[in-house]
Structure 1
Amino acid sequence: MDFSLTDEQNELVKTIRAVLNRHATSAAVRKAAESEAGYDVELWRVLVEEVGVASLAIPEEYGGVGFTWFETGLVLEALGYSLAPSPLLASAVLGAAAILQADDEAARERLLPGIAEGTSLATLAWADGQGRWSTRGSGIVATPGESWTLDGTATLVLDGGSADTVIAVAATPDGVGLFEVLDVDAIQRVNVPAVDTTLRFSTMTFSRVPARPLRLDAEAALEKIRDIAIVAVSCLQVGTAQRGLDMTVEYSKQRVQFGRPIGSFQALKHRMADMLVQVETARTAAWAAAWSAGTDAADLPERAASAAAWCADALDHVASETVQMHGGIAITWEHDAQLVFKRAHATGQLFGQSRAHRRRLGVLLGVTAG
């Protein structure tokens, strides 16, 4: 299968990189991560208004540009390289995917245009108290009545502190459903510190919060949403792995030991070659999964699980080598190697660890019992 980028896709990547080179310097990334919003508001405005990154995977009838999840993956790879914090994953991937998987056409027409424009930030409240993204339920319970209400707690809600559109996964008397929260101000939100300071998480507590059902038989929809989410994270990880490799190669040309650059030593050449293999194979796995997500291919579950497991392990390896080959400076707060390392550990836990994805892949392929 040929994953060569089209002229349009190459232009998209070129444009995104140019924007990030201007707005996402090391100092700018740190300033954005420490800000109240948790991301650079001006950078986000440029990305959504001038490039349209939030609209890529949203169909034209809902205010999007009608591309696919593959193009969104290319943007996330560039964002991963820059290490810039961004609400793209929470809003235009998790939130948009949940709404697209809803049975409610009116909700799609009402909610998706704002997400596509970037004027509305969405998120998905899903993980339970143990941080599990189960397709069979969550820590939230939906109670029917004159209107539906939500009670319970969702953890690890991406960009939950700034989201004005909240979609919740909740258990119902008949299974698991997707709900639109009607009064987001009624949610108790507590921001939770993350290992990776460029990611923002919140714990959301619901107490008789009014909600509208978007889909009541949502188990299959959640499988699809999870696959799209882990493909997006895989693309983000590929970009960060490439950043770690590039930083390490550049440093190996500058650092002199025993009268010569350390990059001239054969042992370190081998290690950097191994890093390159990890990056390129991870990119292949991520792009293949993103293509399946973008074309709604039947093999999406297998490719998503494969990419999630491989890309997480690849970034973990590259991040470790980045720290090791930068010596002592890599663990200082001022150096970006620690950001690569923390990104590896944080994203390696999102939507399940690599061993869980390998286990799922084995079940999907019929190699292991479910």
Structure 2
Amino acid sequence: MRWELSAEQADFRSVLADWLAQTCPAETVRDWLDAGDHGTFEERFVGEGWFGVGAPEELGGEGGGLVELALAAEELGRSAAPSSAWLGSMLALPALAALPEAAKALLADGVTTVLAVPAGQVPGSGSGVTTDGASLTGRIPTVLAASRARRLVVPVNGALHLVEVDQPGVRITPRALTDRSRTVADVELDGARALAIPLDGAESAQALELAARRAAILVAADALGAMERMLDTTVEYTLQRKQFGVPIGSFQAVKHAAAEMLVKVESARSILYLAAASVGADEGDAPVLAAAAKAQICAAASAAADSALTLHGAIGYTWEHDLQLYYKRAKLDVELFGSPGLWNDRLADRLALVPTAQG
């Protein structure tokens, strides 16, 4: 099945793609990453109204839904734009719906509020934080965009809490990633004051499950964008690079490798937007489609990255070449919020068993 975007969604993607091409071409992105500067892009993204796209208007967003968020994630991945703060905030949003003022501060004013869960785990897998009723203590490793955040949504024993970062009981320790376009940091809480988010246990679990499905969709969309850019970059390179007096793109083996990348891109696009629409509408097949999207698209992007690097040779991994930005992006997406293996396990858990034919 091929998912078709509406005219409005296609227009949105085109306008955002044009804005990103002007705002953060590859050479600008490299300058930002060289300097460790994510703030310049984040301020522009918020200031020009993109941050709230895909979020409810009643919470201060621009309207739209998960398909629009996936379109944004795809274009951000295609540009290798610094987007950790945006992604971490979009995962925190389901919990913030119970605190409308905090949600409005996030969406309208860019008060970055991220979900404090380990970046390598599926959201909802638990945390090492405890509470005495008024404050939180514990450590959460590798939280996406924690160093960019002003507030954290922290899961604790089946409940969710909102924590202001700027207080004595909170320590944020950044950790280096090979993909410099994203950031993670360890969060240590030592008697940090917290506001309980007014959700009961079932509602908190539902918010975390929705965060997990949104993570699957948005990371898969990011991987698709990176994969599309690697395909374009590889085709362009193989038509310029010559051996034996002809472009290497004329060699049959190179054509086959590029064709396989194209097949991965097209199949990923169909999976992604069907899954985004299903999760956004909370349909019955949403858990299965979200798991399939995360597992299959991220694995395909990783394989495409290897093919792209093989066709480029060693030059593709040098800092001066654009390919390394998208290669590293795709490789992080494979593990971000759960590996393909973890999501395949979730997929298997939700599929009905079919009895084998008896001989």
TM-score with structure 2 setting the length: 0.92
Residue equivalent to 1:163: 149
Instruction: Give the whole-Å Cα distance in 2 for the aligned partners of 1:293 and 1:316.
Output: 24
Instruction: Give the whole-Å Cα distance in 2 for the aligned partners of 1:160 and 1:40.
Output: 13
Letter aligned with residue 206 of structure 1? L
Instruction: Give the whole-Å Cα distance in 2 for the aligned partners of 1:226 and 1:314.
Output: 20
Letter aligned with residue 135 of structure 1? G
> What's the CA shift for 1:33?
2.2
- Mapped pair 1:220 → 2:220: no
Q: 1:367 to 1:30 in 2, by over 3 A?
A: farther
- Render the CA deviation track for 1:198-229: whole Å, top value 9, x for unaligned: 11101000011111221341223212211111
> What's the CA shift for 1:161?
0.9
Q: 1:362 to 1:62 in 2, by over 3 A?
A: same
Structure 1 runs (4+) greater than 4 angstroms displaced: none
Residue equivalent to 1:282: 268
Instruction: Give the whole-Å Cα distance in 1 for the aligned partners of 2:125 and 2:332.
Output: 24
- Mapped pair 1:99 → 2:88: no
> What's the CA shift for 1:2?
5.8
Residue equivalent to 2:29: 29
Q: Secondary structure at the match of 1:335?
A: coil
Residue equivalent to 2:357: none
- Mapped pair 1:137 → 2:133: no
- Greater relative contact order structure (CA < 8 Å, 6+ sep): 2
Q: Percent of counterpart pairs with the same letter?
A: 32
Residue equivalent to 2:117: 126
Residue equivalent to 2:102: 111
Which of 163, 174, 185 in structure 2 is aligned with 1:181? 163
> What's the CA shift for 1:5?
2.0
Residue equivalent to 2:345: 359
Asked if the contact 1:127/1:139 (under 8 Å) is kept, the reply is: no
Which of 167, 175, 184 in structure 2 is aligned with 1:192? 175
Structure 1 portions without partners, runs of 5+ = none
Asked if the contact 2:52/2:108 (under 8 Å) is kept, the reply is: yes
RMSD: 1.9
Q: Secondary structure at the match of 2:335?
A: coil
Paired residues for 1:83-98 under 5 Å = 83-86=80-83, 87-91=85-89, 93-98=90-95
Paired residues for 1:1-370 under 5 Å = 3-36=3-36, 38-41=37-40, 43-50=41-48, 52-86=49-83, 87-91=85-89, 93-100=90-97, 104=98, 107=99, 109-127=100-118, 131-133=120-122, 135-144=124-133, 148-171=134-157, 176-182=158-164, 184-185=166-167, 186-214=169-197, 215-217=199-201, 218-367=204-353
Asked if the contact 2:231/2:258 (under 8 Å) is kept, the reply is: yes
Asked if the contact 2:123/2:337 (under 8 Å) is kept, the reply is: no
Asked if the contact 1:49/1:117 (under 8 Å) is kept, the reply is: no
Letter aligned with residue 363 of structure 1? D
Q: 1:118 to 1:320 in 2, by over 3 A?
A: farther
Asked if the contact 2:77/2:225 (under 8 Å) is kept, the reply is: yes
Q: 1:318 to 1:118 in 2, by over 3 A?
A: farther
Report how many aligned residue pairs link the two structures.
349
Instruction: Give the whole-Å Cα distance in 1 for the aligned partners of 2:247 and 2:52.
Output: 46
- Render the CA deviation track for 1:128-161: whole Å, top value 9, x for unaligned: 9xx53462521111222xxx21110111211111
